[in-house]
Amino acid sequence: MSRLHNRLWYLVFTVPLIMIFTIVVLIPFLIGIFYSFFEWDGIAANPMIYVGFDHYIELLSDGRFLNSAWLTVKFTFFSVILVNILGLGFALLVTTALKSSNFARTMFFMPNLIGGLILGYIWQFIFSDVLKMLGEATGYDQIFFNWLLDKDFAMYALVIVFAWQMAGYMMIIYIAGIQSIPNDVIEAAKIDGASYWQRLKNIMFPLLMPSFTISMFLTLSFGFKIYDTNLSLTNGGPVNQTELFAMHIYNEIFGYGNYGYGQAKAIIFFIVVAAITLTQVYLTKKREVEM
């Protein structure tokens, strides 16, 4: 009886979620795969022409697509490194017996509460006006110029903004990880004469592996999927040098009206992101240690 009961309760809580997930994620995803085999402009009244795998073949020689893919990989690579270094650094900083550590935590986390769109506009002002003014005032105009107008630096500007937004979030995850490390282990190491660096490397990091797994996974997938900050900060410019994957797909579908082709890109995008993140989770999971 009670077993049945539990099961019923289990259903009450999961079925609505499963339903929603099916309706807004699974079904559209399957329909998306279906559409990617057709030449279609996205308007219901217009004909859909079956083209089989043509779109997927066409993709391989689409320069702008490949360029966008490469840019996205580059962006994600730098972001993952910067976000996690900053996040971990902040976490180590605010878990020490600092007086203002609570205040610092709040401040570090704050950027994450601002929406990506608004954040992009704020930083647009910083990059285009503040940096330029700094350059004029200090004379270091090799570093202080409008980064958003430079084909290479625009990408780094995007990385900085993304890191600024995400580092606080990752900090929270690392803090939780650090706090779950039992004090006696650290103390034992201290008594044995381990330096701070040795404690960090040999005790903290291995025990923090689960946090690394989560943080890396989140930054990887957020980095690949970035759209809002990309849109408001650079809108793909200059010269398409910051047109990342999500934006590229949007432009293909709604800009050129190639619904089927854009869908094919989205499917490939999904496969790539899934493959990379799963590999990462597998690799970092392997290094997690049991206490």
Looking at the DSSP bridge assignments, the partners of residue 38 are: 50
Kindly state whether residue 32 participates in binding other proteins, applying the rule CB under 8 A: no
3-state secondary structure of 39: strand
Name the minimum Å distance from CB 47 to other proteins: 10
**Would you count residue 70 as binding other proteins (CB under 8 A)?**
no
- Six-digit token pair at 272? 């790539």
Binding string to other proteins for residues 104 to 143, with x set by CB under 8 A, is what?
Answer: ------------------------x---------------
- Pick one of 29, 33, 39, 42: the residue that binds other proteins (CB under 8 A): 42
Question: What is the gyration radius of the CA atoms in the chain, in angstroms?
Answer: 23
Check residue 60 for interaction with other proteins (CB under 8 A).
Answer: no
Question: Looking at beta carbons only, is 129 or 187 nearer to other proteins?
Answer: 129
Q: Which residues contact 226 (CB under 8 A, 6 or more apart)?
A: 75, 116, 158, 162, 244, 246
Is residue 151 part of the contact set for other proteins (CB under 8 A)?
Answer: yes
Q: Give yes or no for a contact between 156 and 70, defined as CB atoms under 8 angstroms apart.
A: no
Q: Rule CB under 8 A: is residue 277 a binding residue for other proteins?
A: no
Q: How many residues bind other proteins (CB under 8 A)?
A: 28
Residue indicated by tokens 């809580």 = 13
Please state the φ and ψ torsions of residue 114, each to the nearest 5 degrees: -85, 135
Q: Would you count residue 7 as binding other proteins (CB under 8 A)?
A: no
Asked if 222 contacts 229 with a C-beta cutoff of 8 angstroms, the reply is no
Q: Does 53 bind other proteins (CB under 8 A)?
A: no
221 part of the interface to other proteins, by CB under 8 A: no
Q: Using the minimum distance from each CB to other proteins, give the nearer residue, 68 or 280.
A: 68
User: Tokens representing 157?
Assistant: 């500007």
Mark residue 101 as left, alpha or beta (left: phi above 0; alpha: psi -120 to 50; beta: remaining): alpha
Nearest to 262 by CA among 38, 30, 102, 19: 38
| Residue 254 touching other proteins (CB under 8 A) | yes
Residue 44, classed as helix, strand or coil, is coil
Q: Which of 3, 5, 99, 286 binds other proteins (CB under 8 A)?
A: 5
Residues that bind other proteins (CB under 8 A): 5, 8-9, 12, 15-16, 19, 41-46, 64, 128, 146, 149-151, 237-240, 251, 254-257
